[in-house]
Structure 1
Amino acid sequence: MATRGAVYPCRHIVRAARPTPFVARRTISYTPIRRAQETEEKPEEPPKEQRRSALSSIRDFFLGGSKPTKKPQLAKPAPVQREGTLSSDSIFADETTTTPATAQERRPDAQAEEVEPLEQRVRDRMAPIIDPRPEARKRWERKMIVRAVRKRGRLTKREMVMATEREALVKSHWFKTSVKKLVPLARQIAGKNIDDAILQMQFSKKKAAKDVLEHLKHAKNVAIVKYGMGLGHVQRDPSEPLPKPQTVILKNGEKRVIREPTAIYIAQAWVNRGPYDYDYDHRAMGRINVLRPPHTGLSVLLKEERTLIREWQEREAKALRQRKQQLWTQLPDRKIYGQNQYYSW
């Protein structure tokens, strides 16, 4: 070091004259500390478009320079959607107000907009929303008409059942229990009247019975309000006589007396496996076991007891046909064709 300082004595003089500690010019990384200590004013750097190398200048001179690109601009905001109005006979109109609120009253911050009355609306403007695919709609209507003509207006058995009988499928939220614990309760309520199933869940000692009880009450309300099930005794005229009790035999051989055909019963009940949650079991010595508690859901299919009557009648008719087929007859019970008064050989 002494030799290098003697050869280049000016370095020590320059370092001592500097007010800030010395930092090497050529460093691997340009740290922000050196940038903060620099006090000399730097000349303003030209913009990136003007900072071009000599090779780029020569290339632009012979081949022509590239035009500066424009900055991308933001897209224009979407136009504000216009709000419609309701007709005077609409069930959704507010009964308390005689005139519907204007756009300015509904949105005081927005600008007032002119709303077209219902009578002056143009159907072509509403077509993209009301009828987005007119050709597909026409094909579907033609298909339905052709199907009705081919069947001569007759409905299939499934269509007849859907038109005359009602059903409601209600799914529950996820219960914090396992499939093994919920399946016995689902088997217990399957096939029973909805009121009998609710009564059984009220006196059940199972922990999950409380959740099942709340779900059955909710399912009963949905079936009554949304699908109009179980209202035969309410909608029936008081002058009409009460329906006669009818005894049917279920698939499992159990006999049931049906006094009200519109009563609700649980046709099917099954369990749905849900997601697994995370929980922790704190043990001794600071150890923690990760638990995966399962979640399970319950689905019930509610029907009216008139469905039990129809199914019992169909089973009885099928058994009668089978008994008739097993009867012995001397000649086959079918029509004879090709009768001729002469022998054919």
Structure 2
Amino acid sequence: MATMGAGYTYRHLVRAARPGAYIQPRRTFTYVPYRRAQENGNNGDGSTQETSPRKGGIFSTIKSFLGGKSETVKPKVTHRPIAPMKKEGSLSSDSIFAEDEPTPKLIASGRTPSRPQKVSQEEAMSAEEIPLEQRNRELLQPFLDPRPKARIRWERKMVVRAIRRRGRLTKTEEIMRTERETLCKSHWFKTSVKKLTPLARQIAGKNIDEAILQMRLSKKKAAKDVLEHLKHAKNVAIVRHGMGLGSANGETPKPITITLKSGERKVIRDPTSIYIAQAWVNRGPYDVDYDHRAMGRINILRPPHTGLSVLLKEEKTRIREWQEREEKALRQRKSQLWTQLPDRKITAQSQYYSW
């Protein structure tokens, strides 16, 4: 057994001492044609290179297998020809990426880009806008009157309607022409409908200045947001719609006492003063908040958002509504009064009783 083991180990040592065979690396598809061309004597540039013929036979093959030097001259591998440089274009003279002053060219061809020159003040003054009277109406017609046939039909419709009414306006149209009003919606307040509704009921029907004073003295948390919204609504009504400017124009109307719909008496000294005709609450979206609890737990909260809308009108509207209520009540009283029937002949009498 020892002899066999020693012989086995000796054979391994002999194999390890023997020089290994030459293994050529794996060639790619692109590498093979150039290598074959070199082996055939073509360098790729039109010239040929003669290689010495192979010598020897089976002995040279065994010699090369055992690690000896081969007598065959190995072909030389040349690199691929380099591709030509790309030619880039140039910027135009009116490009926004051009340079202010001429600088050395960064590209082989093309002129140096330059920024357009600034227009002088005299040229700018000479190129002023043409007045509207001097413009060409034919060029502006597609923009001023894009659908002339539809405009003509609408004008004809309005003329026919006015003729049928004999120039009389409806009650709604007359109110819109003589009275002013504005609707102002607020942004979303971080509060609930249940908390904001009492404040909306508190300011409804009050004068805008009185409502602002109520919100300023209120202890509610949402009263601060309502106060800012009322100030904004008042400014919008004055600036955009011209409401509440009667006292500013120097008018001194006579005070009038009216009875509100709720039965309350009110003295109006300025018919153009602003009051809150309606105030309602709008339900908004729900936000997401987190409540950090003990032991790393987190509760998801859904805080609600609510908005407030106010409809502002002038006191002359409240005066008109009071007058309409008084006239309606007077007509009802007159319709219920007993009047003496006139004397007339008795007709259609029956000889029998009706019961």
TM-score band by shorter chain is 0.5 to 0.7
Q: CA deviation at 1:253?
A: 0.8
Residues 115-142 of structure 1: per-residue CA shift (max 9 Å, x gap): 7623442222222222222111111111
Counterpart of 2:332 (choices 314, 317, 322) is: 322
Alignment of 1:1-345 (within 5 A): 17=23, 19=25, 41=31, 117-118=130-131, 119-236=133-250, 242-331=252-341
Amino acid at match of 1:142: R
> 2-side partners of 1:260 and 1:185: how far apart?
26
Q: 1:290 to 1:116 in 2, by over 3 A?
A: same
In the alignment, residue 311 of structure 1 is paired with which amino acid? E
Aligned to 1:321, the other structure's residue is in SS state helix
Distance 2:143 2:296 in 1: 63
Secondary structure (helix, strand or coil) at the match of 1:312 reads: helix
Amino acid at match of 1:323: R
1:211 aligned partner, one-letter code = D
For residues 226 and 28 of structure 2, what CA distance do their matches in structure 1 show?
75
Which AA in structure 1 matches 2:308?
Answer: L
- Aligned letter for 1:261? P
The 1:105/1:252 distance shift into structure 2, 3 A limit, reads farther
Structure 2 CA distance, aligned partners of 1:42 and 1:300? 87
| Residue type at the aligned position of 2:335 | Q
State the distance in 1 between where 2:160 and 2:294 align: 76
1:41-80 CA-partner distances (Å, limit 9, x unpaired): 488xxxxxxxxxxxxxxxxxxxxxxxxxxxxxxxxxxxxx
Deviations 1:4-30 (A, max 9, x none): xxxxxxxxxxx982557xxxxxxxxxx
| Letter aligned with residue 141 of structure 2 | A
Larger radius of gyration: 2
In structure 2, do the counterparts of structure 1 residues 207 and 114 end up closer, same or farther at CA, with 3 Å as the change threshold?
same
Inter-CA distance 193–116: structure 2 relative to 1 (3 Å threshold): closer
Distance 1:218-1:42 versus aligned 2 partners, 3 A rule: farther
The equivalent of 2:74 in structure 1 is: none
CA distance in 2, matches of 1:157, 1:311: 13
Paired residue secondary structure (1:232): coil
Q: Quote the Cα distance in structure 2 between the aligned partners of 1:16 and 1:255.
A: 119
CA deviation map 1:255-296 (0-9, x unaligned): 111111111100001111112222112222222222221111
The number of residue pairs the alignment matches comes to 238
CA distance in structure 1 between the aligned counterparts of 2:315 and 2:202, rounded to whole angstroms: 18
Inter-partner Cα distance in structure 1 for 2:212 and 2:258 = 23
SS at match of 1:132: coil
Q: TM-score, normalised by structure 1?
A: 0.63
Letter in 1 for 2:296: G
The 3 A distance-change label for structure 1 pair 120 and 199 is same
Q: Secondary structure at the match of 2:241?
A: coil
Looking at structure 1, the residues matched to 32 and 172 of structure 2 have their Cα atoms a distance apart, in angstroms, of 87
| Superposition misfits of 4+ residues, deviation over 4 angstroms | 37-40, 103-106, 113-116
Q: Displacement, 1:210?
A: 0.3
Partners of 2:170 and 2:272 in 1: CA distance: 23
Structure 2 distance, partners of 1:314, 1:305, is: 14
Highest relative contact order (Cα 8 Å, sep 6+), 1 or 2? 1
3-state SS of paired residue (2:247): helix
Query: What is the CA–CA distance in structure 1 between the aligned matches of 2:120 and 2:265, rounded to whole Å?
Result: 65
Q: Return 5+ residue gaps in structure 2 as ranges.
A: 1-20, 34-117, 343-355
Identity of matched residues, %: 73
